[in-house]
């Protein structure tokens, strides 16, 4: 494993996310980015995936550009980060990246797991929306107010 590239991504991301805080007021880099990296380390040793996990929010949350990632790392890592970058905006209803690769899905799962584990202080309605957007299988828990994407429409019965 090219640990130097992972270390470089950690250092680069730490510097770029400096001063950012999560919803609980903790440094964002340590609360989220390091957690995503830790989750990914448990399931893969692929350098591109690990680096993309560390860098997954860097284009949308900092002034870092795709071109800068190509220069600092390489094109495959920059492409993976670009694939993970949210497109659109929350207001127009399209805010998720269009994931095409297995590596991007792995990073997005780690990102989602980190966010789900840290959402205790979020307002209830924000939690419900995030949970609803995170479901990709049919689940109905007591008190669920948001249907999963696979929940049948009652009109279809």
Is 83 catalytic? The answer is no
Is residue 90 domain-resident? yes
Q: Write down the catalytic residue from 7, 11, 45, 60.
A: 60
Residue 128 · residue 138 · CB < 8 Å: no
CATH number, domain with residue 46: 1.10.3210.10
What is the domain count for the chain? 1
How confident is the model at residue 21, as a pLDDT? 94
> Is there a domain that residue 132 lies in?
no
155 — pLDDT class (breaks 50, 70, 90): very low
Please compute, for residue 83, the number of CA atoms within 13 A of its CA located in the half-sphere on the CB side. 20
pLDDT average, residue stretch 50-58: 97
Q: Decide if 126 is inside a domain.
A: no
Kind and range of the H or E run holding 60: helix 58-61
- Residue 129 has a pLDDT of 83
| 128: in domain | no
Known catalytic residue at 61? yes
Domain span at 37? 3-118
**Residue 127 in domain:** no
Please give the average per-residue pLDDT across 52-65, as a whole number: 95
153 within a domain of the structure (yes/no): no
61, 68, 72, 144: the catalytic one is 61
Rounded to 10°, the helix 102-117/47-55 angle is: 40
Secondary structure of residue 94 in the 3-state scheme = strand
102 band by pLDDT with thresholds 50, 70 and 90: very high
Residue 70 confidence (pLDDT) above 50: yes
C-alpha torsion 133→82→59→14, nearest 10: 90
């Amino acid at each position: 494993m090219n640990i130097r590239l992972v270390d470089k991504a950690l250092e680069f991301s730490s510097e770029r996310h400096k001063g950012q805080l999560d919803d609980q007021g903790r440094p964002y880099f340590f609360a989220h980015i390091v957690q995503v990296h830790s989750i990914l380390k448990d399931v893969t040793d692929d350098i591109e995936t690990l680096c993309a996990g560390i860098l997954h929010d860097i284009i949308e949350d900092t002034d870092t550009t795709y071109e800068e990632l190509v220069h600092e790392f390489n094109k495959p890592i920059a492409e993976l980060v670009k694939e993970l970058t949210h497109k659109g905006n929350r207001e127009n209803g399209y805010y998720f990246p269009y994931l095409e690769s297995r590596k991007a899905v792995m990073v997005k799962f780690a990102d989602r797991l980190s966010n789900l584990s840290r959402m205790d202080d979020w307002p209830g309605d924000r939690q419900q929306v995030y949970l609803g957007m995170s479901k990709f299988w049919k689940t109905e828990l007591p008190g669920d107010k948001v249907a999963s994407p696979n929940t049948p429409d009652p009109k279809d019965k």
